[in-house]
């Protein structure tokens, strides 16, 4: 028979459940050794491409759950994005992508409602985003449900479209190697209670993406 518990006991249970899950997520991320392993697999090639072009990626998210993802992973569902450091090289690469209609430029306070790849500047950062939920959210299409097995499919199409465009435009301009540093290292120097562990640098090679 069902056993009734008090609201106080239930709230205590929920707190314990939350604390246990949080600890499991910490243990999950502590299991990561290299920064490469902590970057969402579906956007890992894009991150590598921008790094090899000298654009210094800062953060990224694929926007959907994927097979084999670590337990600590959460996503900004519906949005695939990559954040780059503003530099002369980054601005040159982005300008080329805009000129070839791969990206659409917009202002931070006028973000476009579109499933195209867009880019905008916020201080010393450039943000690339694809709102792949934009089309399906306007319908009752079941694929728009995050629990649907097909939810990710349009996103991976858009990701691969950008990969192919970059390879076509910059295939002969990649550096042989690039090093991607964990931004948690810099944050930890200023915030000593920062809990996300510092991961080993990702040494990226051109062969990683060409093959």
Distance between CA atoms of 55 and 102, rounded to whole angstroms? 17
Of the candidates 95, 127, 93, which has an alpha carbon nearest to the alpha carbon of residue 111? 127
Beta carbons of 59 and 183 less than 8 angstroms apart? yes
pLDDT of residue 18 exceeding 90, the answer is: no
15: in domain? no
27: in domain? no
10: in domain? no
pLDDT of residue 31: 86
Helix 153-170 and helix 88-99, axial crossing angle in degrees, nearest 10: 110
Burial of 116 (0-12, 13-18, 19+ CB in 10 A): middle
Beta carbons of 46 and 93 less than 8 angstroms apart? no
13: in domain? no
- The average pLDDT across 167-185 equals 94
Helices (H), the chain: 7-30, 41-52, 88-99, 153-170, 183-190, 206-210
3: in domain? no
Q: Which range in 20-34, 35-49, 134-148 is most confidently predicted, on average pLDDT? A: 35-49
Domain extent, residue 160, equals 34-210
124: in domain? yes
68: in domain? yes
- The average pLDDT across 132-144 equals 73
Distance between CA atoms of 95 and 50, rounded to whole angstroms? 14
Better pLDDT: 102 or 4 = 102
2: in domain? no
pLDDT of residue 133: 83
Beta carbons of 96 and 78 less than 8 angstroms apart? no
**Statement: the pTM of the whole predicted model exceeds 0.85:** yes
* 210: region left, alpha or beta (phi > 0 left; psi from -120 to 50 alpha): alpha
pLDDT of residue 1: 59
Domain count of the chain? 1
Indicate the pairing of strand 104-105 with strand 79-85: unpaired
- The average pLDDT across 40-62 equals 96
pLDDT of residue 206: 93
pLDDT (tens digit per residue) in 55-79: 999 999 999 999 989 888 988 889 9
List the structure tokens of 127. Answer: 């943000």
């Amino acid at each position: 028979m069902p056993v009734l518990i008090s609201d106080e006991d239930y709230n205590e249970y929920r707190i314990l459940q939350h604390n246990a899950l949080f600890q499991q997520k910490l243990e999950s991320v502590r299991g990561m050794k290299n920064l490469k392993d902590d970057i969402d697999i579906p956007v890992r090639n894009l991150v590598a491409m921008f790094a090899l072009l000298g654009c210094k990626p800062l953060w990224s998210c694929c926007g959907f759950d994927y097979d084999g993802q670590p337990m600590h992973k959460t996503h900004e569902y519906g949005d695939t994005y990559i954040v780059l450091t503003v530099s002369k090289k980054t601005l040159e690469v982005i300008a080329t992508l805009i000129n070839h209609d791969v990206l659409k430029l917009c202002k931070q306070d006028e973000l476009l409602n579109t499933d195209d790849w867009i880019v905008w500047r916020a201080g010393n950062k450039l943000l690339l985003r694809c709102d792949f939920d934009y089309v399906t959210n306007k319908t009752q299409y079941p694929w728009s449900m995050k629990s649907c097995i097909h939810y990710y499919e349009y996103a991976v199409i858009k990701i691969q479209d950008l990969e192919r465009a970059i390879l076509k435009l910059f295939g002969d301009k990649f550096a042989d190697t690039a090093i991607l540093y964990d931004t948690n290292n810099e944050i930890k120097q200023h915030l000593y209670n920062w809990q996300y562990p510092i991961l080993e640098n990702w040494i990226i090679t051109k062969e990683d993406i060409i093959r």
